[in-house]
Amino acid sequence: MSFPWANEYKPQAPLMRWLDEKLPLPRLVYNAIGAGYPVPRNLNYWWNFGILALVCLTIQIVTGIILAMHYAANATVAFDSVEHIMRDVNWGWMMRYAHANGASAFFVVIYIHIFRGFFYGSYKAPREMVWLLGVVIFLLMMATAFMGYVLPWGQMSFWGAKVITGLFSAIPFVGEPLQTWLLGGFAPDNAALNRFFSLHYLLPFVIVGVVVLHIWALHIPGSSNPTGVEVKSESDTVPFHPYFIVKDGWAVGAFLFLYCAVLFFAPNMLGHPDNYIPANPMSTPAHIVPEWYFWPFYAILRAFTADFFFIPAKLMGVLAMFSAILVWFFLPWLDKSPVRSGHYRPTFRKFFWFGLIPTMAVLFYCGGAPAEEPYVMLSQIATAYYFLHFLVILPIVSSVERPDPLPFSITEAVLGKDHDSLLAPQAVPVEKSDALRPAAAN
C-alpha cells in the first residue's frame, strides 16, 4: 500500500519493461525504498537508525560468512582457529575485529532505534505490528550475539555459555534436563559449540526474514514522524528517493567513520581480556560479565538476591530478566495516550528523560560492575523503577496527562502554516469540543 500520490514505476529500457512483466522485482524495490515510497518530510536524524541497522546486519553477514570459511567449530581447535584467523589469514584480523565490533555497533544502533520508538510513540496504532516484529528481531539478535560470543572458545565464551544456559536450570522440574538437552552434555563442550555455530549461522538469515516483515508492516501505514501527526496530503511527504536516500547516505557515512575509528584504533576496547585465554572448565574467571549490550538485563537478573514469596531468588531473577523485554510486547496497549510524539506530552516527556533514561544508564553500569554493594542495591532500585515505568507510570500518565496542542499537519509543523488547515474546524480544547458533549444535547 502507499499514498495515492506516490510516484508510479515506469520502466524506460526495454529490458526493464520485459522484466517488470515477468518478475516485478525492480518495481518492488522502487515502491519500498525508491521514489515510489512517500515519507513524511519532517523526519529527523533519529529516523536514520533503521537504515543503519540494515547496514550493520549486512556487515555482520558478510564478515560472518568470511569468518566461517576459516573457523573450525570444534572444541579442541576452535580457539586456535580464531588465532589462525588473527595471525595467518590474509586480512583475517580485520574481518574478526569488524565482526566483533560490528556486533557492538549493531546494538548501539538498535538501542537508539528502540528508544526513538519509546520517545516518539512509534509503537502505537496503526504500527503495533511493526513494533512487535521489532521486539522479535531484538530477541533474535540477543540469541545470535550470545551464541557468537561462545564460538572463540575462550574463558569468557565458556563461562558465558555455562552461566546463560544455567539460567534455564532455574525452571522448576524440567530445568536441569532442559539445560543438559540444550548443551548436549553436562557442561558446555564440543556438542554445545557445534550447535551454537550452526544456529549462529542460521539466525541472521531468520533476522533478515523478520526484517522484511518489519519493513512490510511499516510500509502499510507508512513511516511515523517526529510530530506523531499522520500524513494528510501530498505536501506532508517527499519521495524516499532521492530525499531520504541522500540523508541516509550521510548518516551511513558518519556511522562508518565512528565504526572504523573503533575497528582500527580500539578494536579490543569493548571485549574482555579473559577471552584470549583458552576455555578451562576447571577454573572460573574471577569476574564474569557478559558483553556490554547485555548489561542492563544482566543487572536485572542479579538484582534478585532473596527469595520472593515462594519463588526462589534464582528463578525470580531469570523471570525478571525475560519479563524486562517481554513487557515491550505489551507497550502499544500499556500506553493508552492517543498522542504519539513525546514532543506534545509534557508529563510523559519528564518520565522519559528523568526516569527511564537514567534507569537504563544505572542498569547498564551495574550490569558490568562486580556483584557487590552498592551496585546490587542500585540495580534493585533501577529494576523496580524499570517495571514501574512500563506497568504503572505509562498507563497512569497516558490517562491523566493533558497533551499540548498538536499541529494540524506535518506541513503546518514544518512551514508554520498549511492552506488545507483553513478548511478544518478551529482547534478547541478537548473538554469544549463536540466529542464529549452528550448526543441528547443536539
Contact positions toward another protein, by CB under 8 A? 159, 162-163, 166-167, 169, 180-182, 184-187, 189, 191, 195, 281-284, 286, 288, 302, 305, 312-314, 371-372
Q: State the amino acid at position 108 in one-letter form.
A: V
Shortest reach from residue 64's CB to another protein, in Å: 23
Query: Could you tell me which of 180, 240, 176 has the C-alpha nearest to residue 33?
Result: 240
Residue 272 annotated among the catalytic residues of the structure: no
The catalytically annotated residue of 247, 274, 323, 421 is 247
The catalytically annotated residue of 219, 274, 314, 421 is 219
Shortest reach from residue 373's CB to another protein, in Å: 11
- Pick 182 or 231: Cβ nearer another protein: 182
Q: State the amino acid at position 414 in one-letter form.
A: V
Q: State the amino acid at position 189 in one-letter form.
A: D
- Pick 72 or 313: Cβ nearer another protein: 313
Query: Could you tell me which of 41, 47, 42, 36 has the C-alpha nearest to residue 3?
Result: 36
The catalytically annotated residue of 99, 235, 248, 379 is 248
Alpha helices in 230-275 (DSSP H): 245-265
Q: CA 17, 18, 24, 30 torsion: positive or negative?
A: negative
Shortest reach from residue 290's CB to another protein, in Å: 12
Shortest reach from residue 268's CB to another protein, in Å: 23
CB atoms within 10 A of CB 282: 4
> Cβ neighbours of residue 203 under 8 Å, at least 6 residues apart?
140, 143, 144, 147
- Pick 288 or 378: Cβ nearer another protein: 288
The three-state secondary structure class of 18 is: helix
Shortest reach from residue 316's CB to another protein, in Å: 11
261/264 Cα distance (integer angstroms): 6
Residue 291 annotated among the catalytic residues of the structure: yes
- Pick 282 or 422: Cβ nearer another protein: 282
**Are 107 and 140 spatial neighbours (Cβ–Cβ below 8 Å)?**
no
For the chain, give percent helix, strand, coil, nearest 5: 65, 0, 30
- Pick 238 or 288: Cβ nearer another protein: 288
- Pick 191 or 254: Cβ nearer another protein: 191
Q: What is the largest CA-CA distance in the chain?
A: 84
Shortest reach from residue 385's CB to another protein, in Å: 22
- Pick 180 or 421: Cβ nearer another protein: 180
Shortest reach from residue 367's CB to another protein, in Å: 13
**Are 351 and 323 spatial neighbours (Cβ–Cβ below 8 Å)?**
no
3/440 Cα distance (integer angstroms): 38
Residue 418 annotated among the catalytic residues of the structure: no
Q: What are the CA-CA distances from residue 356 to residues 89, 329, 383, 387, 390 (Å)? A: 45, 17, 11, 10, 9
Shortest reach from residue 169's CB to another protein, in Å: 8
297/163 Cα distance (integer angstroms): 14
161/152 Cα distance (integer angstroms): 12
Residue 224: in which H helix or E strand, if any?
A: none
410/303 Cα distance (integer angstroms): 44
**Are 196 and 319 spatial neighbours (Cβ–Cβ below 8 Å)?**
no
- Pick 177 or 405: Cβ nearer another protein: 177
**Are 410 and 421 spatial neighbours (Cβ–Cβ below 8 Å)?**
no
Q: CA 264, 266, 272, 278 torsion: positive or negative?
A: positive
The catalytically annotated residue of 104, 122, 157, 223 is 223
The catalytically annotated residue of 291, 335, 412, 418 is 291
328/310 Cα distance (integer angstroms): 26
Shortest reach from residue 171's CB to another protein, in Å: 13
**Are 75 and 190 spatial neighbours (Cβ–Cβ below 8 Å)?**
yes
- Pick 372 or 431: Cβ nearer another protein: 372
411/416 Cα distance (integer angstroms): 7
Active centre residues (catalytic): 219, 223, 247-248, 291
